[in-house]
């Protein structure tokens, strides 16, 4: 603790996904303590055009929660606040951290409480974090949106298979979310007046393992239309794809994974030229692609039933000149 007290401290301003906080791709100076603040928000969210809604549980009001970015050797110091207006107890388990159930055992907060957790980013890669308040509440909170990701960069940046730095121009965080909404006798999605009220119904649907929705960034269509992801021809885009609960397989239609860290570790040599890559449930993976042609590219979970019928699709809108 004495050594940590001597380290410089910086505040990282959280931004809502798909965007990333401002960060250096190559670390400047030595390790830092990076201060981050999450406020837990239980809120009603609309999931699709038919008006299906869920009382989501969120870190900072978004599904997924915000991306945190640090470098290997930095310390993350998270203030986790559970406001009095919430109904439930929450906590946080960082897959990037070591011991104490990833922080879960140290961060249980009832409404009206807050806690500070500090851990060292002792390995590089992209990692999921999620709420894990115990027993059936663990999957219940995770499939109500309470998950996000952290990126721990090597201090000298991410590298291709030849060890050369991969410089990226844009970053996008895609958090895939499976929801398990119950229907009434008429086949309409049920609605509830407060967070937690859907618990019994939700348990029933969760036990079928059949999600009602599989979406990117909280809702069907969140990353299309006004929410579409933007890029220009010639730009390299870093895409972080997280799924806290369920396996998935991202695919960029008309593009590739130039460099893919499917398991998330930046210590691994990236795979190249992938058409589709695997993200294991409970993990995040990274991919870069340098756009060669303009146009609208669909980015999907290539279980096409989940993409087209359940909602797991985004759009990249890429500007530039077509190259014949
Ligand atoms: Cu929770």
Helix (H, G, I), strand (E, B) or coil at 62: strand
Q: 1: pLDDT confidence band, cut at 50, 70 and 90? A: confident
Task: Give the model's pLDDT for residue 53.
Answer: 97
Q: How far apart are CA 19 and CA 67, in angstroms?
A: 8
Give catalytic status of residue 95 as yes or no.
yes
Give catalytic status of residue 191 as yes or no.
no
Angle formed at CA 4 by CA 2 and CA 6, multiple of 5 degrees: 80
| From 71, 141, 213, 241, active-site residue | 141
Q: Measure 90 CA to ligand 1 centroid, in angstroms.
A: 4
Give the C-alpha distances (Å, rounded to integers) separating 17 from 88, 105, 141, 226.
24, 27, 19, 14
pLDDT in tens, 285-324: 999 999 999 999 999 999 999 999 999 999 999 999 999 9
Give catalytic status of residue 251 as yes or no.
yes
pLDDT in tens, 140-169: 999 999 999 999 999 999 999 999 999 999
pLDDT in tens, 236-275: 999 999 999 999 999 999 999 999 999 999 999 999 999 9
Averaged confidence pLDDT in the chain? 98
Asked whether the predicted pLDDT for residue 61 surpasses 90, the reply is yes
**C-alpha of 63 from chain center:** 8
DSSP class of residue 308 equals I
| From 42, 74, 93, 306, active-site residue | 93
| From 45, 58, 130, 171, active-site residue | 130
Radius of gyration of the chain (CA): 19
Q: Measure 126 CA to ligand 1 centroid, in angstroms.
A: 21
What number is the average pLDDT over the span 113-120? 98
Q: Measure 134 CA to ligand 1 centroid, in angstroms.
A: 10
Give catalytic status of residue 130 as yes or no.
yes
Q: Measure 94 CA to ligand 1 centroid, in angstroms.
A: 13
Q: How far apart are CA 102 and CA 119, in angstroms?
A: 9
Task: Give the model's pLDDT for residue 243.
Answer: 98
Q: Measure 173 CA to ligand 1 centroid, in angstroms.
A: 21
Asked whether the predicted pLDDT for residue 82 surpasses 90, the reply is yes
pTM above 0.95, yes or no: yes
Give catalytic status of residue 146 as yes or no.
yes
Q: Measure 139 CA to ligand 1 centroid, in angstroms.
A: 10
Residues 6+ apart with CB under 8 A from 195: 42, 43, 55, 57, 86, 87, 88
Peptide bond into 18 cis (omega under 30): yes
| From 57, 131, 137, 151, active-site residue | 131
Q: Measure 109 CA to ligand 1 centroid, in angstroms.
A: 9
């Amino acid at each position: 603790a004495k050594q940590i007290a001597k380290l410089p401290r910086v505040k990282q301003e959280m931004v809502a996904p798909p965007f990333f906080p401002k960060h250096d791709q190559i670390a400047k100076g030595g390790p830092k303590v990076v201060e981050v603040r999450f406020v837990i928000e239980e809120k009603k969210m609309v999931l699709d055009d038919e008006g299906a809604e869920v009382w989501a549980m969120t870190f900072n009001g978004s599904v997924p929660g915000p991306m945190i970015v640090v470098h290997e050797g930095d310390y993350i110091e998270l203030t986790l606040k559970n406001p009095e207006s919430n109904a439930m107890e929450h906590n946080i388990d960082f897959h990037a951290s070591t011991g104490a159930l990833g922080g879960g055992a140290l961060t249980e907060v009832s409404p009206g409480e807050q806690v500070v957790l500090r851990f060292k980013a002792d390995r590089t890669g992209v990692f999921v974090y999620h709420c894990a308040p115990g027993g059936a509440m663990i999957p219940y909170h995770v499939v109500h949106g309470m998950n996000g990701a952290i990126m721990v960069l090597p201090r000298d940046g991410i590298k291709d298979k030849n060890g050369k730095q991969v410089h990226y121009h844009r970053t996008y965080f895609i958090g895939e979310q499976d929801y398990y909404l119950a229907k009434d006798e008429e086949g309409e999605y049920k609605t509830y007046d407060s967070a937690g009220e859907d618990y019994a119904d939700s348990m029933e649907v969760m036990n079928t393992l059949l999600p009602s929705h599989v979406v990117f960034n909280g809702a069907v269509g969140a990353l299309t239309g006004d929410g579409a992801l933007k890029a220009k021809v010639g730009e390299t885009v870093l895409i972080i794809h997280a799924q806290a609960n369920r396996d998935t397989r991202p695919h960029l239609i008309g593009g590739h994974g130039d460099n893919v860290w499917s398991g998330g570790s930046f210590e691994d040599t990236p795979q190249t030229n992938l058409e589709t890559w695997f993200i294991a449930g409970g993990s995040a993976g990274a991919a870069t692609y340098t756009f060669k042609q303009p146009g609208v590219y669909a980015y999907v979970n290539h279980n096409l039933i989940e993409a087209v019928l359940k909602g797991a699709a985004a759009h990249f809108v890429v500007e530039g000149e077509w190259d014949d």
